[in-house]
Amino acid sequence: MLYNVEEKEIMSAAGQHNLRKPDISVESFRLIIKKYLRRSAFKNKRILDIGPGQCDFLDMAKKAGADRTYGCDFDPAVGALGKLRGHDMTIANLKQGWPYKGEVFDGIFCRGSLNCCWFSSEERLAAFLDDMAASLSPDGWIWIAPWNNPVPGKEDFLEVVHRVSKEWADKNAIRIEIPSPRKREKYGLIYSIPRIEIWRRK
Ligand SMILES: C[S@@+](CC[C@H](N)C(=O)[O-])C[C@H]1O[C@@H](n2cnc3c(N)ncnc32)[C@H](O)[C@@H]1O
C-alpha cells in the first residue's frame, strides 16, 4: 500500500509493475501473521523481510513492537520506500549470495521474492540456504514462501532445488507446508510455478 504522493513518486520507478500500484491490499499479510506468527514473534525482535516490495509486512512488524526491521531488495525504489518508513534497508541482488553474513535476526520473512532456481549449482544453492539459516537466532522463526520458478533451459534444476531445500529444512527443523488452494488465495500466494511451498519454523 502506498500512502502519499512521496511514496507514489518513489515507487513509480519500481522495476516490477505491480509494485507501482498504490492500492495493493495488505490483508493477506495480516492473515499470515494471524495464522502463523504471534505478537511475541515481533516484540523487541530484529525482523528481516527478504524482497519486501511495498514494505507492508515490515510496517506491521514495527507496529507489533519489533525492535528493528530490515529489508533487502535489489530495487532502489523499494530501498528508498523502506528507508522512508524507518526500516533498515540493504540493496543487494540475492542471486549473488546471502547479503547478511555474520548478522543475526529473530525472524526472517519472505513472500515470493526468493527463487532457488536462480543459483547456478547445487553447491551455491546449499551455501545460500546455509548462510541464511546461520542468520537466524537459535530460537528464531522463519516464514518463507519461495517463488521457485524454473529458469528456461534449466528446468531439471528444480528437482535439485526440492531435494536440497528439503535436506536443509530437515537439518534446521523447518517444516515445508504445501498450502491448499484456499490458503494460497488467503495468503497471497497466487503464483504460476510448479510447486507452492511455505517453509516455516515455529
Ligand atoms: C513479487 S515481489 C514480492 C513483494 C512482497 N514480498 C510481497 O509479497 O508483496 C518480489 C520482490 O523481490 C524483489 N526481488 C526480486 N528479485 C530479486 C533479487 N534477485 N534480489 C533482491 N530482490 C529481488 C523485488 O524487487 C520485489 O520487491
Domain with 139 in it: what CATH number?
3.40.50.150
pLDDT in tens, 24-39: 999 999 999 999 998 7
How far apart CA 113 and CA 78 sit, in angstroms, is 13
Ligand 1 atom 1, closest CA = 112
DSSP 111-163: ES---GGGSSSHHHHHHHHHHHHHTEEEEEEEEEE---PPPTT-TTHHHHHHH
- Domain span at 70: 5-201
pLDDT in tens, 134-144: 999 999 999 99
How far apart CA 200 and CA 145 sit, in angstroms, is 9
Ligand 1 atom 16, closest CA = 113
How far apart CA 145 and CA 140 sit, in angstroms, is 17
Ligand 1, pocket-test mutation among 113, 190, 198, most atoms within 8 A of CB: 113
Low-confidence ranges of the chain (pLDDT < 50): none
| Total number of domains in the chain | 1
Q: Residue for cell digits 547479503? A: 99
